[in-house]
Amino acid sequence: MRPGTSPPANGRTEKADGRSRSTERARRFVSAVIVVILGLQTTAVLLRTDRSFPFQHYPMYAEPHGEGEHVEVELTVYARFADGLERRLSALDVGLPFFLFRRQFVQAILDEKHDKIARFLAPYQDRVGERIVGLRVENYPIIVTRSGPKDAPAATIKTLEIEPPATGSAS
């Protein structure tokens, strides 16, 4: 600013290239946020972890598959209730995003981690007012052929009975 002049009415002072200080600060802030986000995503990829959701190790391209190979397309979970009825469970039912549903809930069923399964199912069972006594995971694969993918028959890959919750000791 030249001697004898007053600052602009809006309080901003212009730099030599015409940008105001507040604009420069905003640009630096946005740049810092972008660098942090890229750093978190890079860390998730390098550590191959899903623990830092929404920053996940997720490959951009699918693995190549040969002719005749079965490719997992969809794993579907069915819950069997105490009254004998079966219903499909979705990620929304369990309250998880799709990738966490597949990588944590479905994987817990496949690994028979009853405590983890119980934690995922408790809010759903409370909401519907019924107890789940069994779970079934079905694979709906495709087969790779020269003329393109073909549907393969569904196959049950895991059936798991759910133990009733432990009650206090009877004395």
- 143-159 pLDDT, tens digit per residue, is 888 888 888 888 899 99
Q: What is the mean pLDDT of residues 155-168?
A: 79
Q: Which backbone phi and psi does 24 adopt, to 5 degrees?
A: -65, -40
Pairing of the two strands 155-161 and 70-81: unpaired
* Sequence ranges of the domains in the chain: 14-60, 70-161
Does this model's pTM top 0.75? My answer is: no
- In DSSP terms, 80 is beta-bridged to 86, 134
Residue carrying the six token digits 């004395």? 171
Percent of the chain with pLDDT over 70: 76
For the chain, state the CA radius of gyration: 27
d(CA 98, CA 114) in angstroms, rounded, equals 21
Instruction: State pLDDT tens for residues 109-126.
Output: 999 999 999 999 999 999
Which has more confidence, 104 or 56? 104
Mean of pLDDT over the chain: 82
171 pLDDT above the threshold of 50: no
